[in-house]
Amino acid sequence: MSDDVPATVRSYLLTEHTDLLATASDCADAVVAGWDGKSTTDRDAVTGPLTATLRRSGVLDELPRVLAGAVDAAGYALRAQPVPAPPYVVVTSTGPVLRATLADGRLVISLRLFAVERGSEDIEQRYVRGPQAAERVVDVAFR
């Protein structure tokens, strides 16, 4: 069953949660609108505003239900009801990450709303808006 989990979960998210993915993308756009340019070197300028915007839009509270549905679609059951907080849901500098420990692995769903451009000795790392197409935002791993 584990070989099909990422594809099954990805398909579930892209077909059953298109509105949520679009709203999450809109939230990311709102975060970028608050920056001075098209990027920021301040991680807190991503995570804080993104968390607040996702909460205001209702996306953050909806993510545990999305996680439960994804687990069900993959043919598994959760041991406990997920909540919109760690370890189930966390907002990172690239976007929300949903996690569930299952019978034979760990499901990790990342919504890659932002990208990190690594710096060098002379250049700080920057956070930029990631892909906008849902197909490129949704990343699923089963380990």
- In the chain, where the domains are located: 5-142
Q: Find, among 85, 83, 73, 65, the residue nearest to 20 by Cα.
A: 65
pLDDT confidence of residue 2: 53
Q: pLDDT-derived band of residue 131, with 50, 70 and 90 as boundaries?
A: very high
Q: Encoding tokens for residue 15?
A: 């077909």
**For residues 6-22, average pLDDT:** 98
Of 79 and 133, the one with more pLDDT: 133
Query: What sign results for the dihedral spanned by CA atoms 83, 66, 62, 108?
Result: positive
Closest CA to 51 of 82, 23, 88, 90: 90
119 has a pLDDT exceeding 80: no
- The count of C-alpha atoms lying within 13 angstroms of the C-alpha of 91, restricted to the half-sphere facing its C-beta, is 22
